[in-house]
Amino acid sequence: MTLQKCEWSSLQFRRTAVIALVVGTTLSLVNDGGEIFSWVITFGTLVKIIFNFLTPMIVANLGWVFSQKRNKS
Protein backbone atom coordinates (compact mmCIF):
# COMPACT_ATOMS: atom_id res chain seq x y z
CA MET A 1 0.00 0.00 0.00
CA THR A 2 1.33 3.42 -0.88
CA LEU A 3 0.67 6.78 0.70
CA GLN A 4 -1.58 7.67 -2.25
CA LYS A 5 -3.90 4.77 -1.43
CA CYS A 6 -4.40 5.79 2.21
CA GLU A 7 -7.74 7.38 2.79
CA TRP A 8 -7.25 10.60 4.71
CA SER A 9 -10.17 11.70 6.79
CA SER A 10 -10.99 14.93 8.54
CA LEU A 11 -11.27 12.95 11.80
CA GLN A 12 -7.70 11.70 11.41
CA PHE A 13 -6.47 15.20 10.63
CA ARG A 14 -8.21 16.59 13.72
CA ARG A 15 -6.68 13.87 15.91
CA THR A 16 -3.16 14.49 14.67
CA ALA A 17 -3.65 18.26 14.85
CA VAL A 18 -4.64 17.98 18.52
CA ILE A 19 -1.60 15.80 19.21
CA ALA A 20 0.66 18.31 17.42
CA LEU A 21 -0.90 21.22 19.30
CA VAL A 22 -0.44 19.64 22.73
CA VAL A 23 3.05 18.25 22.13
CA GLY A 24 4.26 21.28 20.17
CA THR A 25 3.04 23.70 22.83
CA THR A 26 4.64 21.67 25.60
CA LEU A 27 7.97 21.38 23.77
CA SER A 28 8.00 25.07 22.89
CA LEU A 29 7.26 26.18 26.43
CA VAL A 30 9.82 23.82 27.96
CA ASN A 31 12.60 24.50 25.46
CA ASP A 32 12.00 28.15 24.53
CA GLY A 33 9.65 29.47 27.21
CA GLY A 34 12.09 32.11 28.43
CA GLU A 35 12.45 33.62 24.99
CA ILE A 36 8.72 33.38 24.28
CA PHE A 37 7.68 35.11 27.51
CA SER A 38 10.33 37.81 27.18
CA TRP A 39 9.11 38.53 23.61
CA VAL A 40 12.63 38.06 22.25
CA ILE A 41 12.04 35.56 19.48
CA THR A 42 14.79 35.25 16.90
CA PHE A 43 14.44 33.61 13.52
CA GLY A 44 16.23 30.52 14.85
CA THR A 45 13.81 30.25 17.76
CA LEU A 46 10.87 30.62 15.39
CA VAL A 47 12.18 27.79 13.23
CA LYS A 48 12.59 25.57 16.32
CA ILE A 49 9.02 26.36 17.40
CA ILE A 50 7.66 25.50 13.95
CA PHE A 51 9.51 22.18 14.04
CA ASN A 52 8.14 21.55 17.55
CA PHE A 53 4.68 21.48 15.96
CA LEU A 54 5.54 19.81 12.64
CA THR A 55 7.42 16.87 14.13
CA PRO A 56 4.54 15.41 16.20
CA MET A 57 2.14 16.04 13.30
CA ILE A 58 4.36 14.04 10.94
CA VAL A 59 5.00 11.27 13.46
CA ALA A 60 1.31 10.91 14.33
CA ASN A 61 0.34 10.77 10.65
CA LEU A 62 3.06 8.23 9.84
CA GLY A 63 1.88 6.09 12.74
CA TRP A 64 -1.64 6.20 11.36
CA VAL A 65 -0.45 5.36 7.82
CA PHE A 66 1.53 2.35 9.02
CA SER A 67 -1.33 1.14 11.21
CA GLN A 68 -3.62 1.31 8.16
CA LYS A 69 -1.08 -0.66 6.16
CA ARG A 70 -0.92 -3.33 8.87
CA ASN A 71 -4.74 -3.52 9.13
CA LYS A 72 -5.20 -3.95 5.38
CA SER A 73 -2.59 -6.69 4.95
pLDDT in tens, 43-71: 988 999 999 999 988 888 888 777 776 66
User: In terms of residue numbers, what domain contains 45?
Assistant: 10-72
Which positions ≥6 away from 29 have C-beta within 8 Å?
36
pLDDT band at 1 (very low <50, low <70, confident <90, very high): very low
Angle between helices 10-37 and 43-72 (to 10 degrees): 160
| In-domain check, residue 4 | no
In a domain, 3, yes or no: no
* Domains contained in the chain, number: 1
Burial of 64 (0-12, 13-18, 19+ CB in 10 A): middle
User: Quick check: is 15 in a domain?
Assistant: yes
C-alpha torsion sign, points 39, 28, 57, 9: negative
Whole-model pTM: value is: 0.69
Q: Higher confidence at residue 6 or residue 42? A: 42
